[in-house]
Amino acid sequence: MADPSWQGVDEYLCSKLLAADPVLDAALASSNEAGLPPIAVAPNQGKLLHLLVLSIGATSVLEIGTLGGYSTTWMARALPDSGRLVTLEFEPKHAAVARANLERAGLAGRVEIRVGRALDSLAQLAEEKAGPFDFVFIDADKENTAAYFDRSVELSRPGSLIFVDNVVRNGAVADASSTDAQVLGMRAFLDAAAEDARVEVTAVQTVGSKGYDGFALARVNPR
Protein backbone atom coordinates (compact mmCIF):
# COMPACT_ATOMS: atom_id res chain seq x y z
CA MET A 1 0.00 0.00 0.00
CA ALA A 2 2.76 2.47 0.91
CA ASP A 3 3.94 4.51 -2.06
CA PRO A 4 7.76 4.90 -2.06
CA SER A 5 7.34 8.60 -2.85
CA TRP A 6 5.79 9.19 0.60
CA GLN A 7 9.12 8.37 2.25
CA GLY A 8 11.05 10.49 -0.25
CA VAL A 9 8.81 13.50 0.20
CA ASP A 10 9.02 13.24 3.99
CA GLU A 11 12.83 13.08 3.75
CA TYR A 12 12.77 16.15 1.52
CA LEU A 13 10.42 18.12 3.77
CA CYS A 14 12.25 17.20 6.96
CA SER A 15 15.68 17.99 5.51
CA LYS A 16 14.35 21.33 4.25
CA LEU A 17 12.37 22.51 7.27
CA LEU A 18 13.73 20.75 10.37
CA ALA A 19 17.09 21.66 11.88
CA ALA A 20 19.60 18.90 12.55
CA ASP A 21 18.82 17.67 16.03
CA PRO A 22 21.31 15.30 17.70
CA VAL A 23 19.18 15.10 20.87
CA LEU A 24 16.12 13.84 19.00
CA ASP A 25 18.31 11.53 16.90
CA ALA A 26 19.79 10.11 20.11
CA ALA A 27 16.31 9.53 21.56
CA LEU A 28 15.34 7.45 18.52
CA ALA A 29 18.68 5.60 18.49
CA SER A 30 18.46 4.65 22.16
CA SER A 31 14.81 3.59 21.70
CA ASN A 32 15.85 1.32 18.81
CA GLU A 33 18.81 -0.08 20.73
CA ALA A 34 16.50 -0.93 23.63
CA GLY A 35 14.17 -2.79 21.26
CA LEU A 36 11.24 -0.39 21.46
CA PRO A 37 8.92 -0.53 18.42
CA PRO A 38 9.65 2.15 15.76
CA ILE A 39 6.29 3.87 16.12
CA ALA A 40 7.18 7.34 17.38
CA VAL A 41 5.65 10.20 15.43
CA ALA A 42 7.53 11.30 12.30
CA PRO A 43 9.83 14.33 12.79
CA ASN A 44 7.54 16.64 10.82
CA GLN A 45 4.56 15.50 12.92
CA GLY A 46 6.62 16.05 16.06
CA LYS A 47 7.26 19.59 14.90
CA LEU A 48 3.53 20.04 14.24
CA LEU A 49 2.84 19.07 17.86
CA HIS A 50 5.58 21.48 18.96
CA LEU A 51 4.07 24.36 16.96
CA LEU A 52 0.56 23.68 18.24
CA VAL A 53 1.74 23.68 21.86
CA LEU A 54 3.67 26.92 21.21
CA SER A 55 0.77 28.54 19.36
CA ILE A 56 -1.69 28.27 22.22
CA GLY A 57 0.93 29.33 24.76
CA ALA A 58 0.40 26.09 26.63
CA THR A 59 1.99 25.74 30.04
CA SER A 60 0.62 22.26 30.76
CA VAL A 61 0.57 19.23 28.47
CA LEU A 62 -0.77 15.72 29.01
CA GLU A 63 0.49 12.85 26.87
CA ILE A 64 -1.03 9.36 26.83
CA GLY A 65 1.57 6.92 25.44
CA THR A 66 5.22 7.89 26.09
CA LEU A 67 7.22 5.13 24.36
CA GLY A 68 10.83 6.46 24.33
CA GLY A 69 9.87 10.09 24.90
CA TYR A 70 10.29 11.28 21.30
CA SER A 71 6.96 13.13 20.95
CA THR A 72 7.36 14.11 24.61
CA THR A 73 10.60 15.91 23.74
CA TRP A 74 9.02 17.84 20.87
CA MET A 75 6.14 19.03 23.09
CA ALA A 76 8.16 19.69 26.27
CA ARG A 77 10.50 21.92 24.29
CA ALA A 78 7.53 24.15 23.47
CA LEU A 79 6.86 24.80 27.16
CA PRO A 80 8.32 27.59 29.26
CA ASP A 81 10.79 26.58 31.99
CA SER A 82 7.92 26.78 34.46
CA GLY A 83 5.71 24.53 32.27
CA ARG A 84 4.76 20.97 33.04
CA LEU A 85 4.19 17.87 30.94
CA VAL A 86 2.71 14.69 32.39
CA THR A 87 3.13 11.59 30.23
CA LEU A 88 1.48 8.20 30.86
CA GLU A 89 3.12 4.90 29.98
CA PHE A 90 2.21 1.30 30.79
CA GLU A 91 5.55 -0.40 30.07
CA PRO A 92 8.26 0.23 32.73
CA LYS A 93 10.95 -0.45 30.13
CA HIS A 94 9.59 2.22 27.80
CA ALA A 95 9.37 4.67 30.70
CA ALA A 96 13.00 3.97 31.65
CA VAL A 97 14.20 4.64 28.11
CA ALA A 98 12.10 7.81 27.99
CA ARG A 99 13.46 9.00 31.34
CA ALA A 100 17.05 8.67 30.13
CA ASN A 101 16.20 10.43 26.87
CA LEU A 102 14.46 13.31 28.65
CA GLU A 103 17.39 13.69 31.03
CA ARG A 104 19.77 13.86 28.08
CA ALA A 105 17.49 16.46 26.50
CA GLY A 106 17.60 18.59 29.66
CA LEU A 107 13.83 18.27 30.02
CA ALA A 108 13.52 15.97 33.02
CA GLY A 109 12.67 18.91 35.28
CA ARG A 110 9.47 19.71 33.45
CA VAL A 111 8.34 16.17 32.54
CA GLU A 112 6.70 13.69 34.88
CA ILE A 113 6.36 10.09 33.64
CA ARG A 114 3.62 8.10 35.33
CA VAL A 115 3.94 4.34 34.89
CA GLY A 116 0.78 2.26 34.86
CA ARG A 117 -2.41 1.72 32.89
CA ALA A 118 -3.38 5.10 31.47
CA LEU A 119 -6.99 4.70 32.60
CA ASP A 120 -5.76 4.35 36.18
CA SER A 121 -3.33 7.26 35.86
CA LEU A 122 -6.08 9.45 34.38
CA ALA A 123 -8.37 8.62 37.32
CA GLN A 124 -5.51 9.51 39.67
CA LEU A 125 -4.92 12.83 37.88
CA ALA A 126 -8.63 13.66 38.19
CA GLU A 127 -8.53 12.73 41.87
CA GLU A 128 -5.55 15.05 42.37
CA LYS A 129 -7.29 17.83 40.41
CA ALA A 130 -4.10 17.95 38.34
CA GLY A 131 -5.75 19.73 35.43
CA PRO A 132 -6.52 21.71 33.51
CA PHE A 133 -4.14 20.70 30.74
CA ASP A 134 -3.88 23.12 27.82
CA PHE A 135 -2.90 20.45 25.30
CA VAL A 136 -3.39 16.67 25.25
CA PHE A 137 -1.74 14.16 22.90
CA ILE A 138 -3.48 10.76 22.82
CA ASP A 139 -1.21 8.06 21.34
CA ALA A 140 -1.48 4.82 23.34
CA ASP A 141 -3.55 1.62 22.95
CA LYS A 142 -6.08 2.53 20.28
CA GLU A 143 -8.84 0.39 21.83
CA ASN A 144 -9.20 2.83 24.72
CA THR A 145 -9.09 6.04 22.70
CA ALA A 146 -12.73 6.99 23.33
CA ALA A 147 -12.24 6.65 27.08
CA TYR A 148 -8.94 8.56 26.95
CA PHE A 149 -10.63 11.33 25.00
CA ASP A 150 -13.49 11.58 27.50
CA ARG A 151 -11.08 11.78 30.46
CA SER A 152 -8.91 14.27 28.58
CA VAL A 153 -11.83 16.63 28.05
CA GLU A 154 -12.55 16.39 31.79
CA LEU A 155 -8.93 17.35 32.50
CA SER A 156 -9.03 20.29 30.06
CA ARG A 157 -10.41 23.83 29.95
CA PRO A 158 -12.31 25.78 27.29
CA GLY A 159 -9.83 26.36 24.46
CA SER A 160 -7.68 23.33 25.22
CA LEU A 161 -6.61 21.26 22.21
CA ILE A 162 -6.70 17.46 22.08
CA PHE A 163 -4.69 15.76 19.33
CA VAL A 164 -5.40 12.06 18.65
CA ASP A 165 -2.85 10.06 16.63
CA ASN A 166 -3.45 7.11 14.29
CA VAL A 167 -7.08 7.72 13.46
CA VAL A 168 -7.04 6.44 9.87
CA ARG A 169 -5.04 3.17 10.06
CA ASN A 170 -4.36 2.61 6.35
CA GLY A 171 -7.87 3.74 5.52
CA ALA A 172 -9.47 1.03 7.64
CA VAL A 173 -11.27 3.62 9.77
CA ALA A 174 -13.87 4.03 7.01
CA ASP A 175 -14.58 0.27 6.87
CA ALA A 176 -17.82 -0.22 8.77
CA SER A 177 -17.36 -4.01 8.67
CA SER A 178 -13.87 -3.98 10.24
CA THR A 179 -13.38 -6.36 13.16
CA ASP A 180 -9.91 -5.02 14.03
CA ALA A 181 -9.97 -3.94 17.66
CA GLN A 182 -7.84 -0.87 16.98
CA VAL A 183 -10.06 0.24 14.12
CA LEU A 184 -13.15 -0.35 16.22
CA GLY A 185 -11.51 1.74 18.93
CA MET A 186 -10.98 4.64 16.58
CA ARG A 187 -14.51 4.38 15.16
CA ALA A 188 -15.92 4.38 18.70
CA PHE A 189 -13.86 7.49 19.46
CA LEU A 190 -15.14 9.28 16.33
CA ASP A 191 -18.74 8.26 17.10
CA ALA A 192 -18.42 9.69 20.59
CA ALA A 193 -16.55 12.84 19.57
CA ALA A 194 -19.11 13.64 16.86
CA GLU A 195 -21.87 13.64 19.48
CA ASP A 196 -19.85 15.34 22.19
CA ALA A 197 -21.17 18.88 22.81
CA ARG A 198 -18.07 19.70 24.85
CA VAL A 199 -15.81 19.80 21.77
CA GLU A 200 -15.45 20.68 18.08
CA VAL A 201 -13.45 18.07 16.17
CA THR A 202 -11.91 17.50 12.77
CA ALA A 203 -9.76 14.70 11.36
CA VAL A 204 -7.19 14.68 8.57
CA GLN A 205 -5.63 11.71 6.73
CA THR A 206 -1.88 11.77 6.16
CA VAL A 207 0.79 9.88 4.22
CA GLY A 208 4.52 9.90 4.92
CA SER A 209 7.42 8.01 6.38
CA LYS A 210 5.02 6.32 8.82
CA GLY A 211 2.68 5.16 6.06
CA TYR A 212 -0.97 6.07 5.58
CA ASP A 213 -2.69 7.26 8.72
CA GLY A 214 -4.15 10.45 10.14
CA PHE A 215 -5.03 12.45 13.18
CA ALA A 216 -7.98 14.13 14.85
CA LEU A 217 -7.82 17.55 16.45
CA ALA A 218 -10.43 18.70 18.95
CA ARG A 219 -10.92 22.05 20.65
CA VAL A 220 -12.76 22.19 23.95
CA ASN A 221 -15.75 24.54 23.72
CA PRO A 222 -16.59 27.43 26.03
CA ARG A 223 -18.73 26.13 28.91
Chain contacts with Mg ion (rule: CB under 5 A): 139, 165-166
Among 165, 186, 196, 199, binds ligand DHB (CB under 6 A): 165
Task: Find the shortest distance in angstroms from Cβ 188 to Mg ion.
Answer: 17
Among 31, 66, 121, 166, binds ligand DHB (CB under 6 A): 166
Asked whether the beta carbons of 68 and 99 are under 8 A apart, the reply is: no
For residues 9 and 11, give the distance between their C-alpha atoms in angstroms, rounded to a whole number: 5
Could you tell me where the DSSP H helices lie in 115-171?
118-127, 145-154
Q: Are strands 161-165 and 60-64 parallel, antiparallel or unpaired?
A: unpaired
Partner that binds at residue 76, options ligand SAH, ligand DHB, Mg ion, none, CB closer than 5 to 8 Å by kind:
none
- Please report whether residue 89 would count as binding ligand DHB according to CB under 6 A: no
Question: What residues numbered 30-69 form the site for ligand DHB, per CB under 6 A?
Answer: 39
* Torsion (CA) 133, 136, 141, 146 in degrees, nearest 10: 80
Which of 98, 92, 91 lies closest to 75, judged by CA? 98
Task: Find the shortest distance in angstroms from Cβ 22 to ligand DHB.
Answer: 23
Which of 170, 36, 32 lies closest to 95, judged by CA? 36
* Torsion (CA) 101, 104, 110, 116 in degrees, nearest 10: 20
Nearer to ligand SAH, 134 or 139 (CB): 139
Task: Find the shortest distance in angstroms from Cβ 42 to ligand DHB.
Answer: 9
Task: Find the shortest distance in angstroms from Cβ 154 to ligand DHB.
Answer: 23
**Residues within the interface to ligand SAH (CB under 6 A):** 39-41, 65-67, 70-71, 88-91, 94, 117-118, 139-141
Measured CA to CA in angstroms, residue 220 lies from 66, 93, 157, 162, 165 at distances of: 23, 33, 7, 8, 17
Partner that binds at residue 150, options Mg ion, ligand DHB, ligand SAH, none, CB closer than 5 to 8 Å by kind:
none
Partner that binds at residue 85, options ligand DHB, Mg ion, ligand SAH, none, CB closer than 5 to 8 Å by kind:
none
Q: Which residues bind ligand DHB (CB under 6 A)?
A: 39, 139, 165-166
